[in-house]
Amino acid sequence: MASEAHDQARDQGLRGVELSLGYHGSTVVHAAGITLRPGRVTALVGPNGSGKSTLLRGLARLHPVDGGRVLLHGDADALALSAKEFARHVTLLAQSRPTPTGISVGDVVGYGRHPYRGRWRADDPDGPRAVAHAMEVTGVTAMAARPVDELSGGELQRVWLATCLAQDTRVLLLDEPTTFLDLRYQVEILDLMRDLADQHAVAVGVVLHDLNQAAAVADDVVLLQRGRVRAHGAPAGVFTPEALSDVYGIRIDVHLDPDSGQLSTRPVGRHSLRVPA
């Protein structure tokens, strides 16, 4: 019973309550609220400068919180935890990371176990299982012995994701994980996020620029405008032509396929409706 109670406590997600964040005395995120729930993907969307990445970094404790609270597992104060304790519950895949040289994929993924290790790896008896599982889920097991500096961009992104998964947290934050990837690897990363939520009950929070990707992968979306939450909820309720056109400053049409139920958006420029000769 104690184990079941512990598992339930781990599965209550992450919340930001009235979060305010800024740079050099200037507020860029104003009293924002966001909830990341187990088994659900929440996408943060909005134009450049709307505060998406800053809000995500605030949830990850990588950006100072000027006001509000970050709550873990219901009502636990995440800001009061030690860095190692917090890292056992929440992990962030940042936009970019320096690529180490002369280090194998397996060793890089193993770095994800740092919250559980003391001075010696023997202090982490569950480490080998967690690393093997993370590599299997992300499809990088076969490249375990390869140096990471020889990988393609898509392969490297999957390795970094495996490193996050080896951390064995129940909350995964990703900041623009599909940027600079070709279409195949974009789809693979989105599919992995969906699998983690559906099959492993992970609470996923992700910053995305592509509205169609957000509509396809997310259960909930948070639409930000000038540092404030303009709307949040299911994509079909948030992605309206009126809201998107106002937030992005350009006409955006929204279409819902009656057969598949898939929502798609289309920004309309001066030449968007041109009929090819």
Residues in the chain: 277
Per-residue model confidence (pLDDT) at position 103: 94
Q: How far is CA 36 from CA 12, 87, 113, 242, in A?
A: 9, 16, 23, 26
Q: For residues 64 and 57, what is the distance between their CA atoms, to the nearest angstrom?
A: 9
CATH 3.60.21.10 fits 1-89+170-251, yes or no: no
Q: What is the pLDDT averaged over residues 135-160?
A: 92
Q: Provide the pLDDT for residue 8.
A: 43
> What confidence tens digit (pLDDT) does each residue in 56-106 have?
999 999 999 999 999 998 889 999 999 999 999 999 999 878 888 899 999
Predicted TM-score of the model (pTM): 0.89
CA gap 253, 48 in Å, rounded: 20
Domain ranges in the chain are: 1-89+170-251, 101-168
Calpha distance 133→77 (Å, rounded): 30
Contact 220, 188 (CB under 8 A): no
Determine the Cα angle at 68 with ends 66 and 74, to 5°: 140
Contact yes or no for 115/75 (Cβ under 8 A): no
**Half-sphere exposure (Cβ direction) of 161: Cα atoms closer than 13 Å:** 29
List, for residues 178-237, the tens digit of each pLDDT value: 888 889 889 989 999 999 999 999 999 999 999 999 999 999 999 999 999 999 999 999
